[in-house]
């Protein structure tokens, strides 16, 4: 499952986000959504949800 992560601080780099997500692994995407959606990271509240195809 792909997930969408939004409302990140503009200074967040791919490596920063990878470090936050690495504990959850590929199989635990639902757990990452449950635990990280609404979490504060670098001064912003993250939005983490299942990614949807663009219309």
**Whole-angstrom distance, CA of residue 55 vs CA of residue 4:** 15
What are the domain boundaries of the chain?
A: 3-50
pLDDT given at position 11: 92
Q: What is the pLDDT of residue 41?
A: 92
Mean pLDDT, consecutive 10-residue stretches, the chain (55 aa), reads 80 85 71 86 90 81
Question: What pTM did the predictor assign?
Answer: 0.50
User: Do the beta carbons of residue 10 and residue 17 sit within 8 Å?
Assistant: no
In order of 1, 2, 5, 22, the CA distances from 45 in angstroms are 22, 20, 10, 19
pLDDT of residue 29: 72
**Confidence at residue 19, expressed as pLDDT on a 0 to 100 scale:** 86
Neighbours of 48 (CB within 10 A): 23
Q: Which helix (H) or strand (E) holds 41?
A: strand 40-41
Query: Tell me: domain 3-50, CATH 3.40.50.2300, correct?
Result: no
């Amino acid at each position: 499952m792909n997930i969408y992560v939004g409302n990140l601080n503009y200074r967040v780099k791919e490596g920063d986000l990878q470090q936050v997500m690495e504990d959850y692994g590929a199989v635990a995407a639902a757990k990452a959504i449950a635990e990280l959606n609404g979490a504060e990271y670098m001064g912003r509240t993250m939005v983490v949800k299942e990614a949807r195809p663009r219309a």
